[in-house]
A and B are shown apart, each in its own frame.
Chain A
Amino acid sequence: MAAASLSPSRRAWQRFRRNRLGYWSLLIFCALVVLSLFAELLSNDRPLVVRYEGQTYWPMVHDYPETTFGGDFATPTDYLDPFIRQQITRGDNWAVYAPNPYGPKTLNYFAKAPNPSAPTVDNWLGTDDRGRDLLAQLIYGFRVSVLFALALTAIGTVLGIVTGAIQGFYGGRTDLAFQRFIEIWSAMPELYLLIIFSALLAPSLGLLLVLLSLFGWMGLSDYVRAEFLRNRQLDYVRAARAMGLTSGQIIWRHVLPNSLTPVVTFLPFRMSAAILALTSLDFLGLGVPPGTPSLGELLSQGKNNIDAWWISLSTFGVLVVTLLLLTFMGDALRDALDPRKQELA
């Protein structure tokens, strides 16, 4: 009896788990995202902790001038400087470095190979044409992409659900007016707007988020609208109305939970579309402000330095793996929520 009393969403989750590829993709993707959230611990040009002359320093959170560690200048310490390294590791002094001792913007002035450098013991995936470590850039670039995609997906989904619900539930003139508005709005040339705005305003992730969100909700809104149009006709909604529930209560308790299937199904695909959008805008130079670690900017570097194969290849690899994981998850989710499969199961 206990096994029989699963809610529809619990049963969908069980079907999702049965798809091993999708399930493992979800686990791996989540692990990657969590790891990238702690990128500062993984890849940082500052040591995590330094013990120097009997005192403990936390360079990760505090700036210390070079004079602290016996240097000559009062400028912030460059921990890649061989002299500083020697100072903080000599005698009883010790320092704990991140596994990859470079940040995303770190320029290694003491590198042994010319830029861009092929993979070496110092730079595991090589450096880009400005001498920044590629692995560090990929880790931080992945984080920026995923967080941006999450935010864009969340905003687009909420907007899509709200607008779709209003159109579908109220129907009639509301629906008609909204549909015409969507037709006009979707005819706006999105790319030109991006180019214009990136020329007018200082480029930033926030601006990009706003601009892409302005247009990203329309596709989903149509699906939600169709689900609402169908579900509001069903008898349980009529029964709820006869029971005296308000429209808000009916939407929230009855129609919305039963209309979320397309929303959930599209989530991973929307994520991967958002990652791709950010990457391609960065590639064109319309995306994030210069200096932000970004996969698109790396790809464009790879194009400009075609013989530096490690740049394009490793970036390409990260993109492919990310998008593949998302696509596998999406496939599994679609199967799990397919009503026809539910009948067979």
Chain B
Amino acid sequence: MSEGRTLLDIRKLRVAFNGQPVVHGLDLQIAPGEKLALVGESGSGKTVSALSLLGLVQNAQVSGQAWFQGQDLLTLDEKALRGVRGGDIAVVFQEPMTALNPLYTVGEQIAEVLQLKRGLTRAQAGAAVVELLAATGIAEPARRAGAFPHQLSGGQRQRALIAMALASRPRLLLADEPTTALDVTVRGQILDLLADLQRQHDMAVLLITHDLNLVRRFADRVAVMERGHLVEEGTVASVFAAPAHAYTRQLLASRPQRQVTESVSGAAPAPALLQARGLRVSYPVPLPGLRGWFRQGAFVALQDADFALAPGTTLGVVGESGSGKSTLALAVLGLVPHQGTLKVAGSDWPTARKAGQLRALRRRVQVVFQDPFSSLSPRMTVEQIVGEGLGIHEPALSAAQRRERVLEALADVGLLADRSEGAQWLSRYPHEFSGGQRQRLAIARALIVKPELLVLDEPTSALDVTVQRQVLELLQRLQRERGLSYLLITHDIDVIRAMAHEVLVMKDGQIVERGPCLPLLDSPVHPYTQTLVRMAD
């Protein structure tokens, strides 16, 4: 292997935590100026492999070799590694808010790198910062240099982070999920920026991601990792066209499939289960100065929302963070006060509350949240979590009956292959389950009270792609079998395409486009919808 052809040569890299191996002998080469994507699901060891090269993984036992410019990174001491980090190898992290120090302006943080790594004076660094920020496409770079991280948007922060990584003119850029924390429309811009800069500076980029769309758009070569093993490697074109390994095929096939009962056109429209007219939700915010003592301002999270949901169908709500789609979900659940009319199953929350019917209405509308780790109380057993709703809505059940119903619900969501193993499931705690299993538990908890409407707030966003597909198939099956109605909140066009009958596109608290799902996605009218759809392809 000649030095000129390979920038980074990783041989037999092994990483272990407390004797538990997580990377089992990784061999990987990156050529100068190459765009390599390292793909895998969570826990596959992709991030750990990359960061362990720079000694950035704590408490890890690392062995193997990593040749970079004639030296083995794994044998370097901390001082020498510091020279390499942020020097010849720079890193862009996933979450730009936490990767930047909130106490310093963006400009100061970039200037620090310039002064340390390139030996510029303060004045020179100041000018170079503006140049770097301009190169990353931030508008008004001189002004943004003086901004603190919280004053920038997510996309601007990620640009600032990239500017910081570029400050030392690295030969290799490690980009660890650089777009995952960003909104869909911003993702494409950041990716284009990385590609541009890569060309200009002729640096190599190692893109660590779980998102195959990104890989297809960005990389030259792709390496697929599964549970610490490299299972496939090759050019993007060849791997995507003819995946050799079963796991790669599974990943590529994990795009959700549409398996819903399409509404029959011409049939008499059933009365809507959920109907909103002029729905508006606002949150009080403190006003500055003396005025704040007497009055509160209002932040309007959602306004003029009109929509209807027919029984047995799915209403998809798509939008980016801050578009008001989660507020819409909370309003439908009756968890935030709202103005305008909102009819839920023939009633509405204020009336039900006054008439003492609140519990009855609560039973008919249930919810599944995004994060399966925060949506289950860590100190309750499966039986307590899933059975809690029965204690409220069907208090007459005996303990044995309740347990029977819990087992039934677990079987319904595909957690129990066999009733006989049920007993050992009931006494287990959430931490013993994977993300996908937890999400099934959350669905079981909602289903056990036999709701009519299920609010799904980003039900699969926190899951790996293969698991995401399984959970969506479960939801589709439940809808087909029981005629459940879904209000599906998501930012993912693929999920909408697979699940929804009707779609609302939201932006800044307003519905900008609506219509039947497939026609709308095939020919979007509003420019914002067009961007969303384009980014998903």
Q: A residues engaging B (CB < 8 A)?
A: 1, 4-9, 234-236, 238-245, 253-254, 257-258, 344
**Which residues of B, 303-337, contact A by the 8 Å Cβ criterion?**
330, 333-335
Known: A235-B371, A244-B393. A8 touches B362 (CB 8 A): no
The interface residues of chain B lying within 8 Å CB-to-CB of A7 are: 379, 381, 429
Does A243 lie within 8 Å of B388, measured CB to CB?
yes
Select from chain B the residue with minimum beta-carbon distance to A342.
B431
Contact A235 B335 (CB under 8 A): no
- Nearest chain A residue, comparing its CB with the CB of B18: A344
Contact A244 B333 (CB under 8 A): no
Query: By the criterion CB–CB under 8 Å, are B362 and A242 in contact?
Result: yes
Question: Which one of A5, A234, A235, A244 contacts B424 once the chains associate, using CB atoms below 8 Å?
Answer: A5
Nearest Cβ on chain A to B116's Cβ, whole angstroms: 30
B367 touches A242 (CB 8 A): yes
The 7 closest A-B pairs by CB, nearest first: A244-B362, A235-B375, A235-B369, A244-B359, A257-B379, A236-B377, A234-B374
Q: How far is the CA of A1 from the CA of B455 in the complex (A)?
A: 34
Is A239 a contact partner of B445 (Cβ separation < 8 A)?
Answer: yes
- Docked Cα-Cα span, A8 to B432, in Å, equals 11
B-side contacts of A238, CB under 8 Å: 330, 333, 335, 367, 369
User: CA A236 – CA B389 in complex, angstroms?
Assistant: 13
Task: Give the CA-CA distance A1 to B358 in the complex, in Å.
Answer: 40
Is A239 touching B378 in the complex (CB atoms < 8 A)? no
Least CB separation from A243: chain B residue: B389
Q: Which of A236, A240, A243 has the most CB of B within 10 A?
A: A243
Q: How far is the CB of B101 from chain A (nearest CB, A)?
A: 21
B213 contacts chain A at the CB level, 8 A cutoff:
no
Known: A244-B393, A245-B392. A239 touches B429 (CB 8 A): no
Distance from B205 Cβ to chain A, minimum over Cβ atoms (Å): 30
CB pairs A–B below 8 angstroms (20 shown): A8-B378, A8-B379, A234-B374, A235-B370, A235-B371, A235-B374, A239-B369, A239-B445, A241-B335, A242-B335, A242-B455, A243-B389, A243-B449, A244-B392, A244-B393, A253-B377, A253-B380, A253-B388, A254-B380, A257-B379
Residue B132, interface by CB 8 Å? no
Does more than half of chain A's interface fall in helix, strand or loop, or is it mixed?
helix
Report how far A32 CA is from B376 CA in the complex, Å: 41
Q: Name the interface size band of chain B.
A: 35 or more
Contact A4 B374 (CB under 8 A): no
- Which residues 2-20 of B sit at the A interface, judged by CB distance below 8 A? 17-18
B-side residues, CB < 8 A to A, are: 17-18, 59, 330, 333-335, 358-359, 362-363, 365-367, 369-371, 374-381, 388-389, 392-393, 424, 427-429, 431-432, 442, 445-446, 449, 455
Q: Which residue of A lies closest to B362 (CB)?
A: A244
7 further interface pairs, Cβ-Cβ under 8 Å (given A5-B428, A236-B375, A257-B377): A5-B427, A7-B379, A8-B429, A235-B370, A236-B376, A239-B445, A242-B367
> Residue on B with the closest CB to A255?
B377
For the complex, what is the distance from the CA of A241 to the CA of B449, rounded to whole Å?
Answer: 14
Q: A240 to chain B: which residues have CB within 8 Å?
A: 388
Which chain A residues lie closer than 8 Å to B370 at the CB level? 235
Interface contact A5-B429, CB-CB below 8 Å:
yes
Please judge, given known A-B contacts A4-B428, A5-B424, A6-B429, whether A236 and B335 are in contact too, CB under 8 Å: no
The CA-CA distance from A6 to B429 in the complex, in Å, is: 7
Residue of chain B at shortest CB distance from A172:
B284
CB < 8 Å A-B pair total: 79
Smallest CB-CB separation from B368: which chain A residue? A239
Knowing A5-B432, A244-B393, the reply to whether A239 touches B362 (Cβ < 8 A) is no
Output the least CB separation between A234 and chain B (Å).
5
* A236 & B374 in contact (Cβ 8 Å cutoff): yes
Q: Are A258 and B378 in contact (CB under 8 A)?
A: yes
**B366 touching A242 by the CB < 8 A rule?**
yes
Task: Tell me how far the C-beta of A158 lies from the nearest C-beta in chain B, rounded to whole angstroms.
Answer: 20
Q: How many angstroms between the C-alpha atoms of A239 and B428 in the bound complex?
A: 20
Residues of B within 8 A of A4 (CB): 428, 432
Query: Considering the chains assembled together, what is the distance between the CA atoms of A344 and B389 in angstroms?
Result: 34
Residues of A within 8 A of B334 (CB): 242
Known A-B contacts A7-B429, A238-B369, A242-B365; the reply to A258 vs B335 at CB < 8 A is no
Contact residues in B for A245 (Cβ distance below 8 Å): 388, 392
Tell me, rounded to whole Å, the shortest Cβ–Cβ distance linking B378 to chain A.
Answer: 6
CB within 8 Å for A243 and B59 given contacts A4-B428, A8-B379, A344-B18 = no
Contact of A239 among B363, B367, B379, B393 (CB under 8 A): B367
**Least CB separation from A10: chain B residue:** B429
In the complex, which residues of chain B have a beta carbon less than 8 angstroms from the beta carbon of A253? 377, 380, 388
Chain A residues near B442 (CB, 8 Å)?
239
CB distance from A285 to the nearest CB of B (A): 47
Alpha-carbon distance between A47 and B350 when the two chains are bound, in angstroms: 75
Q: Is the CB of B377 within 8 A of A254?
A: yes
Complex Cα spacing A226 to B24, Å: 42
- List, in ascending order, chain A residues with CB within 8 A of B363's CB: 244
Tell me the smallest distance from the CB of A268 to a CB of chain B, in Å: 22
Could you say which residues of chain A place their CB within 8 Å of the CB of B393? 244
CA distance A236 to B378 in the complex (A): 9
Q: Which residues of A contact B455 (CB under 8 A)?
A: 242
CB-based nearest B residue for A240 = B388
- Which of A5, A6, A242 lies at the interface centre, i.e. has the most chain B CB atoms within 10 A of its CB? A242
A2 nearest CB across to chain B (Å): 8
Which residues of chain A are near B445, meaning CB under 8 Å? Answer: 239, 243
Tell me the minimal C-beta distance from B252 to chain A in angstroms: 31
Docked CA distance A322–B381 (Å):
38
Which residues of chain B are within 8 angstroms of A239 by Cβ–Cβ distance?
A: 367, 369, 375, 442, 445-446
Q: Which residues of A contact B429 (CB under 8 A)?
A: 5-8
* Min CB gap A256→B, angstroms: 10
How distant is B245 from chain A, measured CB to nearest CB, in Å? 31
Determine the chain B residues whose CB is within 8 A of the CB of A236 once the complex forms: 374-377
On chain A, the residues within 8 Å of B424 by CB distance are 1, 5
Q: Nearest CB to that of A345 among chain B residues?
A: B18
Tell me the bound Cα distance from A235 to B329 in angstroms. Answer: 13
Question: Which residues of B sit under 8 angstroms from A8, Cβ to Cβ?
Answer: 378-379, 429, 431
Give the complex CA separation of A316 and B256 in angstroms: 71
Chain A residues near B376: list those with CB within 8 A: 236
Query: How far, in whole Å, are A9 and B431 apart by their CA atoms in the complex?
Result: 13
* CB of A74, distance to nearest CB on chain B (Å): 65
Contacts of B432 in A (CB 8 A): 4-5
Please give me the residue from chain B that is nearest to A249 by CB atom: B392
Residue from A5, A245, A254 with most neighbouring chain B CB atoms (10 Å): A5
Residues in B with CB closer than 8 Å to A6 are 429
How long is the Cα–Cα vector from A253 to B389 in the complex, in angstroms? 13
B381: chain A residues at CB < 8 Å are 7
- What is the bound-complex CA distance between A267 and B441, given in angstroms? 35
CB neighbours of A241 from chain B (8 A)? 335
Bound-complex Cα distance A239 to B448 (A): 13
Name the B residues within 8 Å of A257 (CB-CB).
377, 379-380
